[in-house]
């Protein structure tokens, strides 16, 4: 197995060396094949994901797994010719008439370690950007979604040569060996604990990494918004994939005087959006379900008020104690703490007291409060009056900061993430730059501001 992994990497390394700068036509063709693979096998993808989850909404699969990939490919193919063009760089007057450019250059071989929660889209979205930037890629999908991983393993060779894209299956040991390969860039999406291990393994080869982690993404609800609208957006974000989304709202902060009204609005939104508990997405496996059940039981045992509309719908936990598991860990599931604070300044202090989240959701139309949040908080993304939707904007960078990750991709930001932005200097035929050579002339040094 190790020999196959190393051999596959060497095959891709040779391919990247033989074609160090794929043309626009080659890149667009690779992206087109990636789109065909996704589009022509939609039913296979839906069946595989549903098999892995036991129950998952086919609408959510089409929206978050299939459509997300197709839209990313369409956007990249449309804008790729602009991204590939060398950009102008300004020249100091002392060096004129020389010129300078910034030329994007493919890195080479990109490694992608994808998670189980969106096993198709989060496996292929980094590859969209890697292909756009002119690279080849190796993919290690999650072993927790075995059916989707097996589908990728079966379909990829039908559309790509091993030199372009290959899929490596396996468990923890394979993931460890994969992260130790000397990639030109390594992308990992998953938990912070595993992300640290991946970063340490990659550091031995000085491999640059993009870590898409997660954390506790808060939703702050101010008193100036329609609470029903805010509740609907929060439950949409929490209900998608049963809360198993890295940018799902992890907890809600609201002024205490509006706490009761918001809880009622959230409860109503759950009933409206998730009327049939048996038809919505389940936890990925029994172990994860037990973890979420333990969070609820612990909160109930400590006297917290729980509003639970079913085994798989979002469950509200009102004003939980800070020492509870649901407040100490990223939930990654259906539990949703709702916490009262004295005012918005207290809400901001609460958020800033913890690690930087992957997303910060703020429900307010107050321009002053929006500017305050923009200037005084840190998060991978700051989203006003919505949840999750920023992920569907291909022109926005997607990534974390601090505990929630490092690096960002999507669209042009992904193209540049998987490129070396190479500085290129063109000296003119006739240039006075020789006057800068020693012996140094005092009058010249004064003229150029060095005297």
**Catalytic site residues?**
212, 246
DSSP character for 209?
Answer: E
Packed helices 42-53 and 24-40: angle between N→C axes, nearest 10 degrees: 60
Packed helices 344-352 and 367-376: angle between N→C axes, nearest 10 degrees: 20
Helix (H) / strand (E) containing 39: helix 24-40
Output the CA torsion 344→350→352→357 (10° steps). -100
Q: What's the CA gap between 268 and 261, in Å, rounded?
A: 11
Q: What's the CA gap between 94 and 379, in Å, rounded?
A: 41
The residue whose two tokens read 């020789």 is 434
**Closest to 128 in 3D by CA, of 161, 86, 165, 91:** 165
Strand 398-399 versus strand 408-409 pairing type: antiparallel
Q: What's the CA gap between 2 and 234, in Å, rounded?
A: 45
Strand 335-341 versus strand 251-255 pairing type: parallel
**Closest to 97 in 3D by CA, of 437, 431, 434:** 431
């Amino acid at each position: 197995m190790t020999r196959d992994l190393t051999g596959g990497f060497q095959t891709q390394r040779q391919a990247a060396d033989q074609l160090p700068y794929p043309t626009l036509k080659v890149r667009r063709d690779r992206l087109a094949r990636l789109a065909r693979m996704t589009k022509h096998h939609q039913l296979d993808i839906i069946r595989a994901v549903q098999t892995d989850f036991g129950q998952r909404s086919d609408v959510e699969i089409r929206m978050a797994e299939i459509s997300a990939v197709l839209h990313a490919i369409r956007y990249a193919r449309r804008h790729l010719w602009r991204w590939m063009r060398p950009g102008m760089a300004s020249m100091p007057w002392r060096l004129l008439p020389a010129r300078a450019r910034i030329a994007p250059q493919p890195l080479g071989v990109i490694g992608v370690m994808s998670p189980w929660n969106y096993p198709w889209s989060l496996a292929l979205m980094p590859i969209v950007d890697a292909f756009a930037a002119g690279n080849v890629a190796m993919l290690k999908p999650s072993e927790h979604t075995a059916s989707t991983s097996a589908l990728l393993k079966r379909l990829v060779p039908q559309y790509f040569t091993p030199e372009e894209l290959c899929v490596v299956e396996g468990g923890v040991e394979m993931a460890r060996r994969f992260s130790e390969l000397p990639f030109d860039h390594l992308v990992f999406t998953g938990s912070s604990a595993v992300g640290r291990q991946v970063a340490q393994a990659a550091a031995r080869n000085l491999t640059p990494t993009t870590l898409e982690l997660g954390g506790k993404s808060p939703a702050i609800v101010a008193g100036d918004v329609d609470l029903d609208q805010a509740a609907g957006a929060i439950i949409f974000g929490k209900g998608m994939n049963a809360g198993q989304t890295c940018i799902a709202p992890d907890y809600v902060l609201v002024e205490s005087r509006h706490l009761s009204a918001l809880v009622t609005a959230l409860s109503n939104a759950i009933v409206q959006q998730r009327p049939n508990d048996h038809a919505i997405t389940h936890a990925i496996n029994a172990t994860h379900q037990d973890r979420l059940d333990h969070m609820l039981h612990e909160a109930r045992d400590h006297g917290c008020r729980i509003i639970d509309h079913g085994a798989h719908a979002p469950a509200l936990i009102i004003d939980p104690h800070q020492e509870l598991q649901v407040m100490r860990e990223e939930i990654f599931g259906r539990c949703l703490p709702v916490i009262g604070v004295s005012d918005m300044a207290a809400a901001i202090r609460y958020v800033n007291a913890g690690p930087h989240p992957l997303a910060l959701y703020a429900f307010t139309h107050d321009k002053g409060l929006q500017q305050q949040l923009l200037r005084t908080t840190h998060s991978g993304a700051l989203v006003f009056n919505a949840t999750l939707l920023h992920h569907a904007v291909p022109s926005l960078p997607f990534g974390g900061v601090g505990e929630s990750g490092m690096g960002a991709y999507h669209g042009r930001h992904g193209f540049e993430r998987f490129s070396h932005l190479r500085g290129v200097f063109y000296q003119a035929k006739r240039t006075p730059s020789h006057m800068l050579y020693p012996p140094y002339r005092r009058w010249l040094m004064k003229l150029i501001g060095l005297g």
